[in-house]
Amino acid sequence: MKDITSAIQIIPLNNYIVLSMALFSIGLMGVLFRRNIIAILMCLELMFNSANLLLTAFSAYHSDPTGQVFVFFIMIVAAAEVAVGLSIVVMMKRNVESVDINLLNHLKW
Amino acid sequence: MVDPIPYINLSWLVPAFPLLGFLVTGLANKHLKHNLAGIIASVMVVLSFAVSVSLFFILRSSGQEAVTVTLFNWIAIGGMNIPFAFLIDHLSLTMMLIVTGVGALIHIYSIGYMHDDERVNSFFAQMNLFTFSMLLLVMGANYLVLFIGWEGVGLCSYLLIGFWFKNPAYNYAARKAFVINRIGDLGFILGIILIFFTFKSVTFSEVFSQAASFHAGSPVITLITILLLVGAIGKSAQIPLFTWLPDAMAGPTPVSALIHAATMVTAGIYMIARSSILYNLAPITLNIIILIGLATALIAALIGLKQNDIKKVLAYSTVSQLGYMFLALGLGAYSAGVFHVTTHAFFKALLFLGAGSVIHAMGGEQDIRKMGGLRKKMPLTYFTFLTATLAISGIPPFSGFFSKDLILSKAFEHNIILYILALGGALLTCFYMFRLLFLVFFGEKRLAGAHPHESPKVMTVPLLILSALSVFGGFLNIPSLFGGDSRFSTFLQSTVQTNASEELSHSTETGLILGSLLLLALIIVYAYRLFVSKAVVPAKDGESMPLFSKLIYNKFYFDEIYTAVFEKPFGFLSDFFYHKIENTVLDPAVDSIGQVTEHAGTLLRRLQKGNMSFYLFAMVAGILLFIIFILIV
Amino acid sequence: MIVLIILLIPFITGLLLLLVRNAVAVKRAALASSVVNFLLTFSLVFTVPVSGYTANWINFLGVEFALGYDGISLVMLLLTGLLFPFIIMTGMKRDQPQVSLLYALILFTQAALIGVFLAQNAFLFYVFWELTLIPLYFILLLWGGECRRNVTFKFFIYTLTGSLFLLFGIIFLYHLTPGMHTTDFSVFSKLNIPAGTQVWLFWVLFIAFAIKMPVFPFHTWQPSTYTIAPTQGVMILAGVMTKMGIYGALRFLFPIIPLGVVYWQNTVIILSLIGVIYASVIAFRQTNIIRLIAFSSMAHISLMVAAMFVLNYYALQGLLFQVLSHGVTIVALFYIVMLIEEKTATLQLPQMGGIKLQAPNMAILFLMVVLGSVALPLTAGFVGEFLIITGLFHQSIWFALFGGITMILGAIYMLYAYQRVMLGDKKPALGTITDLSRHDYFLLIPLITIIFGLGIYPQPVFDLVEASVKSMQDLLLPLAGSLPALPQ
């Protein structure tokens, strides 16, 4: 356990921050600009995981396990959320024969 | 001696009879047998004539000059106290006698004239209503009661001009008369209000007794008199508001005789004579009256020269004679004006009734070019018409001579140019009247197929009575030149304040009279040669004629000018206001406030068009903005 | 106590009517209620001392349920009481859908109107003021003519917007009251608001009344609303509702913000006189007879508004007289217009003509009402307009002149309309037209009798409002400085 922590600490913290920001941004852009709802879900996962990465990195640097515990919680919630999201995707596919998010535009005035 | 007041207090009977007649003939319109309405109406007017005559004698024997009879308080608020009251004095008695006397004759005549009309009952109801209103007008003891009658006669005039309402042209004439009268009435009512504010009363006696404290030419009095004058101009058909009177001939002929010759149109003269005390304080207004009167007398006489409709000739003649009355008023000779009102009522009513008799005989034809030679077929009508023509032309000893001569001599005293112009008008009058007489009664019959016949007795008897009055009416006021004592003028002295002026010397006056008589004789001979010897018939419509004749023939284009200057722009203004202002500016302005809200909604609605990726984008953008905001602040 | 009964009778009858199915019974009950109501209102004239009614209502706001009246309210109450029987009779012999609802709504309107005229505090006034609108809205919406949805919507929103300002003004005044806040008119009138505040507060309060009356240029809802409204609705609108605006202005502006009134006096008079001439000119070319009468009514009302703001004894007397006279005349006019529409199936003047040939009696009665409307002497209209013009003259001869032009213009457009409807030759397209029925006489003869009766003997009305007008004059006398002294 100590090795892992020290191994993490070999790489400077800034690199983790930059990496997770990059991951987050990629995910965000994907959410914003992709039309395929499956791709959007995947991008959402990416954003989750960028946050997880950051949490882990900070947790290691601060020698505080709370952050890593949170990561587990997040992974569980994300898994549940993916289950719901994918079922929506399935329903959508059944109803509108497509996974294009722009077809879901009936929610308006 | 018996106290006269209780009898004079019964003077409300005078207007009450015609009112009763109106109610009876009006309400029982459908149920009255033929002729019955006419008889009822005539009896009512005769009764009020009888009451007027007895009032006349009672007042004269009582030695009192004026008696006020108050019926009830009409408007009494704050400082305004306007009773519904009658004033019985010499001036109002004179007018009452004219209205009821001539009115009664015309009512009787109408029984014959309107015999075949299906709405004869309505006709008599309206005639009675007119008599009632006219009596209110002349009997009212204050300006507001006078105004009731003033507008009332206007209404009756409207109704009777448009009596044959199927014809749109008649309706138009009726409306025109009413509206033009209303223009005058506005001036009149403003004048009354100003009188009220100036004197704190509108009752004649109170106003006139206070007027003495104003000096001549005071601006308030001038304004009052001018405003009243506007009313008189409208009612008495003076320039510039005279165009309604010739059109008013659309009504049945007895209406023209009663309303548009003998009584209603003289209301303006009556009103000014009544207010003589005020007018004497306003020399500017008097000069305006002279100008208006003279201009009207001349222009109307000129127009009369070229008219071919028997009633139109008489209508312009009426306008012209009213101009003479105005001239007399302007000269301060109020009693001369009222005297001319009296004689004019006799001979002009006679002329109109005679014309009615002719029209009746010709089966409704009014064009004098199609008449001619009626002298032999209708001797009575011819005879009466002749007396009236002589009277209006001012041939002695007929009534018109005395009244017109009085006005002319006053004009001479005032200004020689005035005299010459007035005399010129008199000569024109003489010419167009004899032209009418010769064309209608002399020469050959020009309309084939017509079978003229003398009118029934019910029509000719009133003609004869009026004829007698036209002949002898002048003797009421024989001037000192002929050894008389100017009884009529003296009679009115108590009510009508005449501007004192030196009498003409008898030799001057004799010279003037002889001169004018000579000219009149020449005119008559000329007319005789032209229309009888040479048998000239006026040109047909549409034939070309010299410029001035054309101008006269077309009545100086007054109607056309008024249409172009007032009527058309008014309609245009109405359309402009409605289409351009109301529907393009005001209403849209209000709607636009609503539309702003609506547009704002439409704009904001675009944010909510259901696009998921846009929502996501908005969410992210919002978070970013929020973060930036926190970082900055 | 009588005032409470007067307020409740139409309201309760209206509620009961909703339960009745029989059309004839509904109309009779409504008529009976309105007649009883009128008699009770009339009895107020002789009730000394003034009867009032006060009950606790919303204590924490300091608002009481207070009813009462003075001479001015009494004129309005009499007008309401007098007109509603006629308005209800209008529908008597006619087939109408949903009778019980219609008459219930009419009676609710009456109750609300009476409430406005009786309210003794601004809160209650406002409640009733808004309450008049709701039943009337449904009357217009359910029984109206073409395009009624848009027009009614506009009418509703427009007047509601005006009322919003009024509400704001009332709340503002409420917060000015000392101690425990209240909305009593008597307290409002003793506030001594600074002149600067009064100047802007004037428009806040006036706008609601200006829209209701309506004053130029806030009138645009009126012609179209009159055109689509059912006859009974338009009678309520033109006969009583417009007077409600006048009443509101008299109740709010003059006692509470007299300085504001004096400050804006000439502006409002000029606006009104523009309205007089503008509406009269427009009326001339209207082809729809209802629209024509709507503009004519606007001209008359504008003249009354001008009279109100000259702050002159005669003008105020004339105004209150004209309130009665105009109400009666306009109801008679609209009744005849309804008859004409029933008989000819059109409202377009060019399609009418020659009706007098077939229906002479209708023509005569129509003419009589027209004469009342053009203020011929011996009709009530003349007395009112004469006093109004007298009052205007006192302020300025130009005001009197422009106000008086309505005499001429009124004659022009009304007689033109009369001619186009009644006179001329018969239009073949019109078919046979029956003359008036007995029921029509029952309705028109009393109205015309009132028009002429008040014109011949107007004194009782003057005496009725004398005290109130004097008190209003006493209030304004020191401010305007130009009021005529009142000789005793």
| B598 shares contact with chain C (CB less than 8 Å) | no
Residue pair C331/C447 in contact by the 8 Å Cβ criterion:
yes
Contact C270, C307 (CB under 8 A): no
Q: What is the radius of gyration, based on Cα positions, of chain C?
A: 22
Of B220, B22, B229, nearest in space to B127 by CA: B22
Q: Domain of residue B512: give its range.
A: 336-549
- A1 and B CB contact within 8 Å: no
pLDDT at C483: 40
* CA angle in degrees (0–180, nearest 5) for B588-B591-B594: 150
Give the span between the Cα atoms of B106 and B128, in whole angstroms: 11
CB contact under 8 A, B609 and A108: yes
Does B166 contact C425 at a Cβ distance shorter than 8 Å? Answer: yes
Those residues whose C-beta lies under 8 Å from the C-beta of residue C351, and which sit 6 or more positions away, are C344, C427, C429, C430
**Neighbors of chain A with 3 or more C-beta pairs under 8 Å:** B
- B628 plus B497 within the same structural domain: no
DSSP 8-state secondary structure symbol assigned to residue B251: S
> Rounded CA gap, B479 and B463, in Å?
27
Contacts with C397 from chain B: Cβ below 8 Å: 190, 194
Interface contact flag, C408 B179, Cβ < 8 Å: yes
Please check whether residue B620 touches A, CB under 8 A: yes
Question: Which chain B residue shows the shortest CA-CA distance from A40?
Answer: B613
CA B619 to chain A, closest CA, distance in angstroms equals 10
Tell me how far apart the alpha carbons of residues B102 and B225 are, in angstroms, rounded to a whole number.
30
- CA of residue B231 relative to chain centroid, distance: 10
B587, C76, C184 from C124: Cα distances, Å: 32, 17, 9
* Whole-angstrom distance, CA of residue C340 vs CA of residue B97: 44
**Residues of A with Cβ-Cβ distance to B608 under 8 angstroms:** 108-109
Give the residue from C317, C415, C454 with the most B CB atoms within 10 Å of its CB, the best one to mutate. C415
Cβ–Cβ below 8 Å for B197 and C282: no
- CA dihedral for C367, C373, C378, C380, sign (positive or negative): positive
Calpha distance C397→C414 (Å, rounded): 26
Hey, are the CB atoms on B611 and A105 less than 8 Å from each other?
Answer: yes
**Chain A contacts of B610, Cβ < 8 Å?**
104-108
Query: Residue B378 in contact with residue B495, Cβ under 8 Å?
Result: no
Interface contact B545, partner C, CB < 8 A: no
Question: What's residue B447's pLDDT?
Answer: 66
Distance CA C2, CA B612 (A): 66
Count of the separate structural domains present in chain B: 2
* Sequential pLDDT tens for chain A (109 residues): 567 777 777 888 899 999 999 999 999 999 888 888 899 899 989 999 999 999 988 988 888 888 889 999 999 999 999 999 999 899 888 888 888 887 777 766 5
A28 vs B contacts (CB less than 8 Å):
620
In this complex, the residue of C377, C407, C484 whose CB is nearest that of residue B148 is C377
Q: In chain C, whose CA is at the least distance from the CA of B118?
A: C357
Q: Which of B608, B616, B620 sits opposite A108 (nearest CB)?
A: B608
Q: What is the pLDDT of residue C70?
A: 84
**Segments of chain B with pLDDT less than 70:** 1-2, 447-450, 498-504, 541-543
Report how far residue C20's alpha carbon sits from residue C26's, in angstroms, rounded to the nearest whole number: 6
Say if A13 is an interface residue toward chain B (CB within 8 Å): no
Q: What's the pLDDT at C44?
A: 87
Q: Is A108's CB within 8 Å of B612's CB?
A: no
Say how far apart CA C276 and CA B488 lie, in whole Å.
Answer: 48
CA distances, B595 to each of B362, C158, C433, C466 (Å) = 70, 13, 45, 47
**Cβ atoms of B455 and B357 closer than 8 Å:** yes
pLDDT in tens, chain C (488 residues): 888 999 999 999 999 999 988 889 999 999 999 999 999 999 888 877 777 888 888 888 888 899 988 888 888 999 999 999 999 999 888 888 889 999 999 999 999 999 999 999 899 999 999 999 999 999 999 998 888 888 898 899 889 988 999 999 999 999 988 888 888 888 888 888 888 888 899 999 999 899 998 888 888 899 989 999 999 999 999 999 999 999 999 888 888 888 888 888 889 999 999 999 999 999 988 889 999 999 999 999 999 999 999 888 888 889 999 999 999 999 999 999 999 988 888 888 888 888 888 888 899 999 999 999 999 999 999 999 999 999 999 888 899 999 999 888 998 999 999 998 888 888 887 788 888 888 899 999 999 999 999 999 998 888 888 888 887 777 766 665 444 443 33
Indicate yes or no: CB of C423 within 8 angstroms of CB of B171: yes
Measured between beta carbons, which residues in chain B are less than 8 angstroms from residue C417?
none
In B, minimum Cα distance to C426 occurs at B166
Which of C355, C412, C466 is the best residue to mutate to test the B interface, defined by the most B CB atoms within 10 Å of its own CB? C412
Question: Is the Cβ–Cβ distance between B336 and B328 less than 8 Å?
Answer: yes
- In angstroms, the separation between the Cα of residue B567 and the nearest Cα of chain A is 56
Q: Is B614 on the interface with A (CB under 8 A)?
A: no
Q: Chain B within 8 Å of A32 (Cβ-Cβ)?
A: yes
User: Are B588 and B519 contained in the same domain?
Assistant: no
User: Does residue B502 share a domain with residue B463?
Assistant: yes
> Residue B66: beta bridge partners?
B89
Q: Is residue B292 part of a domain?
A: no
Assess whether B537 and B562 both reside in one domain. Answer: no
User: B188: which residues sit within 8 A by CB, 6+ positions away?
Assistant: B147, B150, B227, B228, B230, B231, B232, B234, B271
> Quick check: helix, strand or coil at residue B203?
strand
* Chain A contact for B624 (CB, 8 A cutoff): no
For B536, the token pair is 């000239």
Q: Which residues pair with C383 in a beta bridge?
A: none
Look at residue C395 in the predicted model and tell me its pLDDT: 86
Q: Hey, are the CB atoms on B609 and A35 less than 8 Å from each other?
A: no
- Statement to judge: residues B600 and B525 lie in one domain: no
User: What is the Cα–Cα distance from B466 to B399, expressed in whole angstroms?
Assistant: 11
| DSSP assignment of B373-391 | -HHHH-HHHHHHHHHHHHH
d(CA C170, CA C167): 5
Shortest distance between the Cα of A27 and any Cα of chain B, in A, equals: 12
- Residues B351, B464 share a domain: yes
**Segment B151-204, tens digit of pLDDT:** 999 999 999 998 988 888 898 999 999 999 999 999 999 999 999 988 888 998
Considering the domain architecture, whether residues B589 and B516 belong to the same structural domain is answered as no
Contacts of C390 in chain B (CB under 8 A): 80, 193, 196
Total CB pairs under 8 A between chain B and C: 137
Nearest to B401 by CA among B302, B298, B512, B503: B512
pLDDT at A52: 92
C138: CB partners within 8 A, 6+ apart: C105
CA distance B302 to chain C (A): 30
Long-range pairs of B552-561 with CB within 8 A, sequence gap ≥ 24: B552/B302, B552/B303, B552/B305, B552/B306, B553/B306, B555/B246, B555/B303, B556/B299, B556/B302, B556/B303, B558/B242, B558/B243, B559/B243
Q: Which DSSP category does C52 fall into? A: -
User: Cα B436–B439–B445 angle (5° rounding)?
Assistant: 145
Touch of B by A (3+ CB pairs closer than 8 Å): yes
Q: Which residues of B touch A102 (CB under 8 A)?
A: 611-613
CA-nearest residue to A25 within chain B is B620
Contact call for residues B508 and B483 (beta carbons, < 8 A): no
Q: Do B612 and A33 touch (CB under 8 A)?
A: no
In a mutational test of the A interface, the residue from B598, B604, B606, B613 whose CB has the highest number of chain A CBs within 10 Å is: B613
* Interface contact B73-C459, CB threshold 8 A: yes
Residue B169 resides in a domain: no
| Alpha-carbon separation of residue B276 from B221, C128, C277 (angstroms) | 12, 58, 35
pTM for this structure? Answer: 0.87
d(CA B85, CA B139): 8
pLDDT given at position C87: 93
* Cβ under 8 Å to C: B residues 92-151: 122, 144, 147-148, 150-151
Q: What is the CATH number of domain A2-103?
A: 1.10.287.3510
The reply to whether B607 and B531 lie within a common domain is no
- H or E stretch including C53? strand C53-58
Which residue ranges make up each domain of chain C?
Answer: 276-480
